[in-house]
Structure 1
Amino acid sequence: MSTVLVVDGANVVGSRPDGWWKDRAGAARRLHERLLVGDTPQDEVVLVLEGAAKGGVRAGRDGHVRTVHAKGVGDETIVAEARAAAGRGSRVTVVTADRMLQARVQGVGALAVGPSWLLDLID
């Protein structure tokens, strides 16, 4: 069974007050780079970006990381990615601190974890 990690980029970046709001595209790029070299146990990592953060990383695949640009608020895209992966039979983990979003992805069969879980893995 394949495993998929879906990352709420805005939520993970926003979990640390490191000045990310001054350069959302740069913060997204740094997260993407850390995901590329980080040691995550999943077969595929899906990084969902929204708004200005989309300017930091092009949509598409880089190794085991696939970047998806949300058309609006990222929540709908995150749920859709989780649902699609679960529908293919993958074990899905979604990284977000958003409680409403956690409940929604759990409803489609995903495990929800907070940003610190991911940051501990890739830092």
Structure 2
Amino acid sequence: MLVVDGANVVGARPDGWWKDRAGAARRLHEALLVADVPHDEVVLVLEGAAKGGARAGRDAHVRVVHAPGEGDAAIVAQAQAAAEAGARVTVVSADRALQARCARWADTGVGPTWLLDRL
């Protein structure tokens, strides 16, 4: 399973995302639907205004999770739940503190560039 820190990935490119957070989240969701990643399932965690860009739920192999508060807690929870269910977990985020919080459950941590290169 690939757990994606939506805010961190969107924020990795200075393409004006801050003017339309929902639109940036929608574009990321659409790109994930056709991305060339070696994972059976992708979980995209969205927070704040970005939640308006993709409805919560599953589209094919991509599941969107709307964080009830800050996205980091939802990312950790998704990584933990997946690992406890037996999945191998990769977390996508440049946030080192978040990667450290997920290290107990994630087999791998990668930065946004890794994912963006596959979109």
- So what's the TM-score if we normalise by structure 1? 0.95
Q: Report if aligned partners of 1:102, 1:112 keep a CA contact under 8 Å in 2.
A: yes
Structure 1 unmatched ranges of 5 or more: none
Give me the whole-angstrom Cα distance separating, in 1, the residues matched to 2:106 and 2:6.
20
- Secondary structure at the aligned position of 1:91 is classed as coil
- SS where residue 77 of structure 2 aligns? helix
**How many aligned positions are there?**
119
Alignment of 1:89-104 (within 5 A): 89-104=86-101
Aligned CA-pair RMSD: 0.7
Structure 1 residue 111, shift from structure 2 partner: 1.4
Q: 8 Å contact 1:9–1:47 — kept in the other structure?
A: yes
After TM superposition, where is structure 1 displaced by more than 3 Å over at least 4 residues in a row? none
1:109 positional shift: 3.6
The one-letter code matched in structure 1 to 2:15 is D
> Aligned residue for 1:52?
49
Report the alpha carbon displacement of residue 121 of structure 1 after superposing the two structures with TM. Answer: 1.1
Match in the other structure for 2:111 = 114
Matched, 1:15 2:4: no
5+ residue gaps in structure 2?
Answer: none
Classify the secondary structure of the residue corresponding to 1:121.
coil
Give per-residue Cα distances to partners, 1:47-87, cap 9 Å, x unaligned: 00000000010000000000000001000000000000000
